[in-house]
Structure 1
């Protein structure tokens, strides 16, 4: 299991991007959360098996039909949080 933190920049608010991220995560069996930031970005943390997490992050980088990802900063985390599911945070 691996754990990552990411900040996604671009046109990612007001276009259903968090719901896209949640659907991608749930379809791949990922655990974690996603939320909008005050700066207009989207922040997420994700845990899962290495290949599935990498595939998930690549899908997030490509974005949804209505979004436009211009930058994505990804940071590996050393400790697992043992999330129970993948949620959208307020």
Structure 2
């Protein structure tokens, strides 16, 4: 089980990015969180297998229909927590 943080930049707020990210995480079977950040980006913390996380990142690069992803920063996320579900943080 791996945990990664993805910071997504571009037109990613106000376009349904968090909802569609939650939906995609459910499909893939990931747990974690997604939230808007004050700087206009979106932060995703995702836990799953390497294969699941790779598949998820491929989706994040595209994003939902009305989003325009310009950059993604991916890094390992050190935590002792085990996320039980994937949820949207307001």
Q: Do the two structures share a fold, i.e. TM-score over 0.5?
A: yes
Q: CA RMSD in A?
A: 1.0
* Structure 1 stretches lacking a partner, 5+ long: none
Q: Is 1:3–1:80's contact at 8 Å kept on the other side of the alignment?
A: no
Please give the TM-score of this superposition, normalised by the length of structure 1. Answer: 0.95
3-state SS in 2 of match to 1:82: coil
* Structure 2 stretches lacking a partner, 5+ long: none
CA distance in 2, matches of 1:39, 1:77: 20
- Note if 1:10 corresponds to 2:10: yes
4+ long deviations beyond 2 Å: 77-81
- Note if 1:32 corresponds to 2:40: no
CA distance in 1, matches of 2:22, 2:80: 19
Counterpart of 1:88? 88
Q: Is 2:8–2:41's contact at 8 Å kept on the other side of the alignment?
A: yes
CA distance in 1, matches of 2:19, 2:89: 11
Instruction: Give per-residue Cα distances to partners, 1:61-85, cap 9 Å, x unaligned.
Output: 1111110000000001244521010
* Aligned positions, number: 90
